[in-house]
Chain A
Amino acid sequence: DQVLHIVPETFQQVQHLQHLCSTLLLDLWKPLLPEDIGAGEEVHIRVPAPLVQEVKDSLDQHLISYKILIPDVQKLVDESMPRERSTQRQEQGGYIYTKYHPMEEIDQWMTQIQKNNSELVTQHYLGKTFENRAMYYLQISQPSNKAKKIIWMDCGIHAREWISPAFCQWFVKEILQNYKSDPKISRFLQNLDLYVLPVLNIDGYIYSWEKERLWRKNRSPYMNGTCYGTDLNRNFNSSWGSIGVSYNCSSEIFCGSAPESEPETRAVAHFIEQKKSDILCYLTIHSYGQYILTPYGSTTKPPSNSEELMNVAEKAAAALMGKYGTSYKVGPTSLILYNNSGSSRDWAHMIGIPFSYTFELRDKGTHGFVLPVDQIEPTCEETM
Chain B
Amino acid sequence: DIGGIGRKYHLKVVLEDVLDQDSTVNCTAEVLYHLGNKNVAPDVQFTLEGELKNTDEADNIFYSRIKSLEEELVAENIPDSHGNMPPEMKPIHLLAWVASGYVIWQNSTENTMFQLAQIKHVKQVKRSDEYLEFDYTILLHEMVTQEIIPWQMTVLWHPQHGVQVTQ
Contact B81 A251 (CB under 8 A): no
Q: Which residues of B contact A371 (CB under 8 A)?
A: 83
Q: In the complex the two chains form, is A252's CB within 8 Å of B83's CB?
A: no
Q: Does A46 contact B (CB under 8 A)?
A: no
Q: Quick check: B83 and A373 within 8 Å, CB to CB? A: yes
CB distance from B96 to the nearest CB of A (A): 13
**Is the pair B141, A214 in contact by a Cβ cutoff of 8 Å?**
yes
Interface of chain B: mostly helix, strand, loop or mixed: loop
Indicate if the CB atoms of B82 and A373 lie closer than 8 Å. Answer: yes
Number of interface residues of B (CB under 8 A): 22
Task: Say yes or no: is A253 at the interface (Cβ < 8 Å to chain B).
Answer: yes
Which residue from A79, A251, A365, A372 sits with its C-beta under 8 Å from B145? Answer: A251
How long is the Cα–Cα vector from A374 to B82 in the complex, in angstroms? Answer: 10
Nearest-CB residue, chain A, relative to B87: A79
Known: A79-B87, A367-B79, A369-B141. A216 touches B118 (CB 8 A): no
Residue of B with least CB distance to A209 = B81
Q: Is A82 an interface residue (CB 8 A)?
A: yes
Q: How many inter-chain contacts with C-beta < 8 Å in the A-B complex?
A: 61
* A252 and B145 contact, CB distance less than 8 A: yes
Contacts of B118 in A (CB 8 A): 213-214, 370
In this assembly, does B58 line the interface, its C-beta being within 8 Å of a C-beta of chain A?
Answer: no
Query: Which residues from B are CB-within-8-Å of A191?
Result: none
Q: Most chain-B Cβ atoms within 10 A of its Cβ — which of A83, A244, A252, A370?
A: A370
Closest Cβ of chain A to B45, distance in Å, is 24
Residues in B with CB closer than 8 Å to A252 are 145-148
Interface size class of A (residues with CB under 8 A): 20 to 34
A100 engages B117 (CB within 8 Å) = no
CB of A11 within 8 Å of the partner chain = no
CA distance A83 to B116 in the complex (A): 23
Which residues from A are CB-within-8-Å of B2? none
Please measure, in the bound complex, the distance between the C-alpha atom of A246 and the C-alpha atom of B87, giving whole angstroms. 40
CB < 8 Å neighbour of B115 from A100, A213, A365, A372: A365
Answer whether residue A224 sits at the interface, using C-beta atoms and an 8 A cutoff. Answer: no
Q: Give Cα A157–Cα B116 distance, bound, in whole angstroms.
A: 22
Bound-state CA distance A338–B112 (Å) is 10
B139 CB-CB contact with A under 8 Å: yes
Give the residue of A83, A338, A370 whose beta carbon is less than 8 angstroms from that of B79. A370
Instruction: Check A372/B146 contact, CB under 8 A, given A79-B87, A214-B117, A214-B118.
Output: no
Set A79, A82, A216, A338: member contacting B84, Cβ < 8 A: A82
User: Is A193 an interface residue, CB under 8 A from the partner?
Assistant: no
Q: Kindly state whether residue B18 has any CB partner on chain A within 8 Å.
A: yes
In the complex, what's the smallest C-beta–C-beta distance from B165 to chain A, in angstroms? Answer: 19
Cα–Cα, bound, A369→B142 (Å): 12
Measured between alpha carbons, how far is A79 from B89 in the docked complex, in Å?
13
Contact with B along A89-100 (1 / 0, CB 8 A): 000000000011
The answer to whether A214 and B82 have CB atoms under 8 Å apart is no
- How long is the Cα–Cα vector from A80 to B85 in the complex, in angstroms? 10
A368 touches B115 (CB 8 A): yes
Known contacts A214-B117, A214-B118, A373-B82; A368 and B141 CB within 8 A of each other: yes
Could you write out 29 A-B pairs with CB less than 8 Å apart?
A79-B87, A80-B86, A100-B81, A100-B82, A214-B118, A214-B139, A214-B141, A214-B148, A216-B146, A231-B146, A252-B145, A252-B146, A253-B146, A289-B143, A337-B143, A338-B144, A365-B116, A366-B18, A367-B79, A368-B115, A368-B116, A368-B141, A370-B81, A370-B82, A370-B83, A373-B82, A373-B83, A374-B83, A375-B83
A-B complex: 10 closest residue pairs judged by Cβ atoms: A372-B83, A365-B115, A252-B146, A213-B81, A370-B83, A214-B148, A338-B144, A371-B83, A252-B147, A368-B117
Q: Residues of B with Cβ closer than 8 Å to A?
A: 18, 79-87, 115-118, 139, 141, 143-148
